A and B are shown apart, each in its own frame.
Chain A
Amino acid sequence: MLTSEFIKQKAKELGAAVCGIGDINNFVPESLQRDPKAILPSAKCIIGFGFPVPKGLYRTMENDSQFYTYTTMGVKYIDEELAEIFLLKMGGMIEDAGYDACLQKHVPNLRIQGDKTTNPEVKDTYELIHAVAVEEGKPVPDVIIDFGEAARCCGIGEKGLSGRVLNEKYGPFMRFCFIITDAPLECDEPLKKHICDNCGECIKACPGKAIDENGLDTWQCAVYYKGAHKSNPFMTEEFLKDDPEREAIINGKKRFDSVSARKIFSQMRFLPQTHWGYAPCLCGKKCDIACFKHLKGVKK
């Protein structure tokens, strides 16, 4: 018999450090396009899994000694290989018990219609602008669930001020994936207390000033994540040499939108892109490091 205890035990054996099971009725989608029930109308639960990103990967970026391993191991491998294989194994166990398992891996390069944000971790994103709902009452595809809300519902995290999903134990050093299922499992309570206390350390740490009290400006983040700031150890004098705004840009003073950001993406070739279009992280994830230190300091 498929039980919550069995799922959590297997998740641990297969490498997830964190597992929580949320009642689908506790999931509060901001719109139908974020609603897991639009993917599986008979859904009863959403199961969340967290994979730690080794602290050492941040340490090397903080020491300016190595950046690329974070992108390849801490982002690309976890999302595109580890989480996918893990989801297939967990999903197989659920379907063996006769229930549907709708696997939800991170969707890095797509944006639902109307979502004008981007994902700094990839070379660019594509908004599904032409999509229409297949029926009245259905959302416009694709439905991409909100991982922050999913983590809250499963009791394993919440979205912090910087937009990163924070876990109580691992802070921002964790990546997530989910399974939507109609299996009637015993559910955990949604996260009740806040992990993020709006301390603002992430705001201060960002070299590109991409975060303010309202959250993350993803286009601004995308430019500086990819290395536009002078603190990028791979910065060259050739970078934007003839651009009159060079000084403002490398000092993090220029504001970017989707048009101006896309204009300079192609000029930021400091390290190779990886498969699946993941761009090298050259800001060193200073926001996450500052957040982690703060949470550790206040023992959250």
Chain B
Amino acid sequence: MKDSIIRIAKENLADIVGFASSERFDKNDPIFKIFPETKTVICLAFRVLRGIYRGTEEGTTYYQYTTMAVENMEETVMPMAQLRVANFIEEQGCIAIPQRRHQQIMAEADSVNPEVGYNTIFRNRPQENQMNFTETAVKCGIGEKGLSGAILTDEFGPMIRYCFILTDAIIDETALREPHLCDNCKKCIKACHGNAISEDGSLDPWQCAVYYNGANGTKNPFMPKDAYADFEDRIKIIAGEAKVTPEKARKILDATYFYPPAQHAYTASICGRACDTACYMHLEEQGKLTKKFKRPFRTREEWKFDIEDFK
């Protein structure tokens, strides 16, 4: 069964498939609330093509990242692979429950998902059980957790997206990956356009949401020079130096419309996941990634606008 699952997943664009026995999970883990009979968790990981980051890197095109690397992956590609694998498992007489991120439902009363409009999120919904995606991916042996919280894989570094299937089928588990990629270089922290990642690696989701959507004018070619005119600290906001509260983040996001959103409530990524690309480049420089390219990702100096242009 395991080989067939891997084959079907890969035929449907998954690049890495990992398996975790339910014994790797605490008895209070959400997987058991969703499906108490869970015996195996299957992780399907999909690379985000490096070429999709190219437009943001060059500062010339932003459309393809949000549509092809976020919206299409989450809404079309991953569900299709999950359903194909789930159908196969159920044909063998077992139960299979696909688990994808519900981008607009949160247990927290006041958090945010940077990838979707903040006012499209239904908060305080603990009864809609959600898996801990990061920890579960590690338990499935697809990679390790980096400083920024991103899952890092040997093949693609942080350039992946992933989802799961819970099943009562008993399948040999994948060995856990010994952490060896993240060396705490802190390049993800330095690269973030809005200082959303703390020294200890914890992420402020509201800070991230503001700058994911392009509040840093020095890295946003679509921002008018008089942006955020109603904010007293507009220059700090535009420089990526403002510390935002959830309330302030909402106000900034309401004033942030530089690029049309995609469908399914996804907003356009203007930061281009600078944390992930910085991490990728560091891993690439160190020769740690098994997926090699003929050319390094960054072949030019990073571009940046002068903050003085906004004064």
B window 260-311: CB within 8 A of A: 260, 263, 291-295, 299-300, 303, 305
**How does the 8 Å CB contact mask read for A260-282 relative to B, with 1 for contact and 0 for none?**
00000000000000011100000
Contact indicator A103/B52 (Cβ below 8 Å): yes
Contact indicator A141/B223 (Cβ below 8 Å): no
Contact indicator B258/A130 (Cβ below 8 Å): yes
**How does the 8 Å CB contact mask read for A23-41 relative to B, with 1 for contact and 0 for none?**
0000000000000001111
Segment with Cβ contacts to B, from A84-92, A156-164, A187-195, A226-234: A84-92
Q: Is A109 an interface residue (CB 8 A)?
A: yes
Q: Is B55 an interface residue (CB 8 A)?
A: yes
A window 234-249: CB within 8 A of B: none
Q: Is B63 an interface residue (CB 8 A)?
A: yes
| CA distance in complex: A234, B109 (Å) | 46
The list of the 5 closest CB pairs from A to B, nearest first, reads A134-B59, A100-B51, A102-B51, A101-B51, A134-B303
**How does the 8 Å CB contact mask read for A74-91 relative to B, with 1 for contact and 0 for none?**
000000110011011101
Q: Is B177 an interface residue (CB 8 A)?
A: no
A window 160-177: CB within 8 A of B: none
Contact indicator A139/B60 (Cβ below 8 Å): yes
Segment with Cβ contacts to A, from B18-26, B64-72, B200-208, B230-238: B64-72
Contact indicator B263/A130 (Cβ below 8 Å): no
B window 205-229: CB within 8 A of A: 221-224
On chain A, the residues within 8 Å of B77 by CB distance are 84-85, 88
Q: Which residue of B lies closest to A183 (CB)?
A: B294
Contact indicator A105/B68 (Cβ below 8 Å): yes
Contact indicator A141/B51 (Cβ below 8 Å): no
On chain A, the residues within 8 Å of B164 by CB distance are none
Using A92-B13, A103-B68 as known contacts, say yes or no to A138 and B59 having CB atoms under 8 A apart: yes
Q: Is A42 an interface residue (CB 8 A)?
A: yes
Q: Which residue of A lies closest to B76 (CB)?
A: A81
Least Cβ distance of A77 to chain B in Å?
Answer: 10
Q: Is B100 an interface residue (CB 8 A)?
A: no
Interface size in chain A (residues, C-beta < 8 A): 50
Least Cβ distance of B285 to chain A in Å?
Answer: 16
Contact indicator A87/B68 (Cβ below 8 Å): yes
Least Cβ distance of A129 to chain B in Å?
Answer: 9
| CA distance in complex: A276, B259 (Å) | 15
On chain A, the residues within 8 Å of B260 by CB distance are 109-110, 126
On chain A, the residues within 8 Å of B224 by CB distance are 130
Interface centre among A39, A94, A275 (most CB of B within 10 A): A39
Using A39-B58, A98-B293 as known contacts, say yes or no to A141 and B221 having CB atoms under 8 A apart: yes
Q: Is B187 an interface residue (CB 8 A)?
A: no
| CA distance in complex: A26, B81 (Å) | 38
Size class of the contact patch on chain B: 35 or more
Q: Is A142 an interface residue (CB 8 A)?
A: yes
**How does the 8 Å CB contact mask read for A97-114 relative to B, with 1 for contact and 0 for none?**
011111111010110000
Contact indicator B58/A138 (Cβ below 8 Å): yes
Q: Is B47 an interface residue (CB 8 A)?
A: yes
Q: Name 11 A/B residue pairs within 8 A (Cβ), A-sorted.
A: A38-B58, A39-B61, A40-B51, A42-B295, A84-B77, A95-B293, A103-B64, A130-B222, A135-B303, A138-B58, A182-B295
| CA distance in complex: A39, B305 (Å) | 19
| CA distance in complex: A86, B96 (Å) | 27
Interface centre among B13, B52, B58, B299 (most CB of A within 10 A): B58
| CA distance in complex: A295, B68 (Å) | 35
Having A38-B58, A138-B58, A277-B263, one finds 19 other A-B pairs with CB under 8 Å, namely A41-B58, A42-B295, A42-B299, A84-B67, A88-B72, A88-B77, A98-B293, A102-B55, A128-B222, A130-B224, A131-B222, A132-B221, A133-B221, A134-B60, A139-B60, A141-B59, A141-B61, A143-B61, A182-B294
| CA distance in complex: A89, B291 (Å) | 16
Q: Which residue of A lies closest to B292 (CB)?
A: A98
Q: Which residue of B lies closest to A99 (CB)?
A: B294
On chain A, the residues within 8 Å of B299 by CB distance are 41-42
Q: Which residue of B lies closest to A110 (CB)?
A: B63
Contact indicator A276/B294 (Cβ below 8 Å): no
Using A42-B299, A98-B294, A182-B295 as known contacts, say yes or no to A91 and B49 having CB atoms under 8 A apart: yes
**How does the 8 Å CB contact mask read for A108-122 relative to B, with 1 for contact and 0 for none?**
011000000000000
**How does the 8 Å CB contact mask read for B124-158 relative to A, with 1 for contact and 0 for none?**
00000000000000000000000000000000000
On chain B, the residues within 8 Å of A81 by CB distance are 76
On chain A, the residues within 8 Å of B49 by CB distance are 88, 91-92, 95, 101, 103
**How does the 8 Å CB contact mask read for B63-98 relative to A, with 1 for contact and 0 for none?**
110011000100011001000000000000000000
| CA distance in complex: A29, B299 (Å) | 23
Using A92-B13, A95-B50, A142-B63 as known contacts, say yes or no to A39 and B76 having CB atoms under 8 A apart: no
On chain A, the residues within 8 Å of B222 by CB distance are 128, 130-131, 141
Contact indicator A105/B51 (Cβ below 8 Å): no
Using A42-B299, A87-B68, A143-B55 as known contacts, say yes or no to A92 and B63 having CB atoms under 8 A apart: no
Least Cβ distance of B180 to chain A in Å?
Answer: 23
On chain B, the residues within 8 Å of A216 by CB distance are none
Interface centre among B60, B72, B303 (most CB of A within 10 A): B60
**How does the 8 Å CB contact mask read for B29-49 relative to A, with 1 for contact and 0 for none?**
000000000000000000101
